[in-house]
Amino acid sequence: MSESTAPPEDEEVAHHDEHESTGVENRKLGMWVFLSSEFLFFGALITNYLLYFGREFEQGPTPSEIYDIPFTSVSSFVLLMSSLTMVLAHNALTRRDQGATRTWLLATAMLGSVFLAGQVFEFTEFIVEYDMTLSTNPAASSFYVLTGFHGTHVAIGVIMLLSLFGLSKRLGGLSERQHLNLELVGLYWHFVDIIWIVIFTVVYLLTATSGG
């Protein structure tokens, strides 16, 4: 079915949101505003981690002693690549290539899932091999809560990507209205990636005392 036709509109009809004073679409402006709040959310979490980094605790180990930097580098690379596939999905939809859009959406969701699987593996390894749980020391607590919340954000992103994929599959393509939705999911996805770059640099690389 053709997606290029906008719904026919009677020109003599008024709506509740007739124009955007700033020229930026409402939903897009909303997403930017929301993301600015998210920076404070992760800012607080990263600050917590840094506060407890370097302190001496009765019970070890602390996360910085047991990081597997090569492993996390690979999973970080996977997540970064998902930003590329996200851009490709957006690009494909701009060209109205619905098939390619679906392929790249699925690829992005898959890469995100691989990252999440890596995080599950990392947590399991830390708990089983090194006996570092939520309750070992505050540094461990803040590590798990920080990376856990990031993982939750990735998981929500994967759900949104798969929803777009499913919607496109079911409707035979994404409409004009959905086009912006894809852009918004893209904004969110890139944000989650950028936050991971900060986490990987500040929380992993700068504080790692072994494993590098």
Partner 1 sequence: MTTAAERAATIFRRPAPEKGIWSWITTVDHKRIGVMYGYSAFIFFIIGGLEALLLRIHLSQAESNFLTAAEYNGLFTTHGVTMVFLVIMPMGAAFMNYLLPLMIGARDVAFPRLNALSYWIFLFGGLFLYSGILFSGMAAPIGVEGVSGNLDPSDITRLGALPDGGWFFYQPNASRDFSPGTAVDFAALGLQILGIASLISAVNFIVTIFNLRAKGMRLLRMPVFIWMSLVVAFLLLFSLPIIAIALFMVTFDRQFGTLFFDATGGGDPILWQHLFWLFGHPEVYILILPAMGIVSEILPVFSRKPLFGYAAVVFAGAGIGFLGFGVWAHHMFASGITPAAQAGFGIATMTIAVPTGVKIFNWLGTMWLGRIRLAPPMLFAIGFLAMFTIGGLSGVTHSIVPSDWQQTDTYYIVGHFHYVLFGGAIFGIFGGLYYWFPKFAGRMLNERLGKIHFWLWFIGFNMTFAPMHWLGFQGMIRRTWRYHPSLEFWNQIVSIGAFIIALGLVVFIFNWVRSRRHGPIAGMDPWDARTLEWSIPNPTPVHNFSTVPTVHGLDEFWHRKYGEDDEGRPVRKDDADSYVARLGEEGNDPAVPIHLPNPTYFPFLMAAGLPLIGYGIIFHTSAVGKALIAIGVLLSLSALMGWATEPLEEGHHGPVEAH
Query: Which residue, 51 or 197, has its beta carbon nearer to partner 1?
Result: 51
Taking the complex as a whole, the smallest distance from the CB of residue 189 to partner 1 amounts, in Å, to 16
* Six token digits for residue 11: 């020109």
Residue 156 CA: distances (Å) to CA of 53, 68, 162 = 29, 26, 10
CA pair distance 10, 124, nearest whole angstrom: 59
Rounded to a whole number of angstroms, the minimum distance from the CB of residue 122 to partner 1 is 18
| Residue in this structure with the two tokens 């939750």, named with its chain if needed | 152
What's the closest the beta carbon of residue 180 comes to partner 1, in angstroms?
12
Of 162, 79, 66, 61, the residue nearest 116 (C-alpha): 79
Give the binding site for partner 1 (CB under 8 A).
1, 7-8, 10, 12-18, 20-22, 24, 26-27, 29-30, 33-34, 36-38, 40-41, 43-45, 48, 51-52, 55-59, 133-135, 137-138, 141-142, 144-145, 149, 159, 163, 167, 170-172, 175, 177, 181
Smallest distance, partner 1 to C-beta of residue 154, A: 16
Q: Which secondary structure element, helix H or strand E, spans residue 116, and what is its range?
A: helix 98-128
Determine the residue type at 36.
S
Nearer to partner 1, 99 or 172 (CB): 172
